[in-house]
Structure 1
Amino acid sequence: MTVATQNNKAPLAKTIGKRLRIARSCAGMPANIAAQRLGYTNATQVSLAEKGERTPPLHVLVEYAKLYVVPLDFLCGLIDDPIVDATETNQGVIANAVSDAIKEQFEKLVRSISEQASVTIAGYNQDRRDLQATCNIALQAKAALERVRELNPEFDDDWRGTARLVKHLDGLEQVGNQAAQRLYHENRMRELSVRSISSGEMAKAAKKALVRCSVIANC
């Protein structure tokens, strides 16, 4: 590239940069939001373009024009009026405003759902602990009743009104045994799952795979 070509490009870069800055300001859009809409990870490219230090390629300038709802000719300095079609411009501004509002409401919805899920999971875990404690108490109560029967053989005959008590304790014992068994199986499954994806097991599997590959390669 000759010096003359570079000198010709410099004013154009400054013009485009100035127009980009004006268009973004009129659109009321922060640089970081503009960068995000354009697919950049940060506002560096937007800042460099607005300073005239880096001229965006044509396809990016087109995206700038769509984003700020201005004609491409305005960004390139060919016309001075940023509003060629008032209706189209108003629609673009409204579309950007609606998009921002939807995004804000969506983020609020996600936060709300996350908070509700966190509370629900915490409550679920507490319910599981309470269930386990209740089952343990029921089993202990049934064991205590059996001890009373053992020490007092005449318990069932001499103590009136104990039939319903015994029946309910038997029911609690059955429920407690079922819950305890289910919790035991769930814990076992969780332990096996964690063990199956542990880093040590993954490393062993990787080593075995490498050995197999090396054997095949040497054959």
Structure 2
Amino acid sequence: MDPGTHQEDTMADLTPEQMRRLHDFAEQLSELAEHQEDRWKVQTTDGQIFLTMMSPTAPHGLNVVRLRRQIEAQTPEVVALNDTNMGDPVTGLTKIPDLMVIAEEDTDDTAKVVNSRDVLMVVEVVFRTNSLTDIRDKLHDYPRMGLPLYVVVDPRKDKKTVTVHSDPSEGPDGIRYRKKVPHAFGDTVTAGRWTLDTSSLKAYPADW
């Protein structure tokens, strides 16, 4: 390795004790963030902690709400939680998805985080300013966290897509989603047991 480069530790490189300390520190930051005037997301990936100021726009929020309503209407036994802490006891990774779908009977109202291994589907609506978080980082982390379905909604003016990632499995490149089905805004999208009408989704304004 070149002396001028720095190699980041990944979660796979961390010892169980290091993973526990990282998780505890992220939890402390989350508790601190709850008392700030601004809203922050505290998430971990590959041995690093990321803090993101939450400033969702109207189109972003509307897209989340419209998808949540469809999901809960089709499956009354589930809840679609938004901006809720989710953690994986196996990898130590923590995320705050735009939407996570979980059977209501599997929720624990005394827990600080939702166990990702209980989650049926995650939906992320791409932010205009940090798109790589959803389309690269979380695409890498979510299958490792045991999430069977990951839906990425991209409202950017040059995209307007809904992509369904599924079939997570182990391979030479690690645990990855092995199936990817892209759709355009306006399509009827099948994601697991859900059929999503995307005609009401809002794209970001052209001048953004």
Answer yes or no: same fold by TM over 0.5: no
- Place the TM-score, normalised by the shorter chain, in its bin: under 0.3
State TM-score, norm by structure 1.
0.24
Of structures 1 and 2, the larger Rg is shown by 1
The TM-score normalised by the length of structure 2 is: 0.25
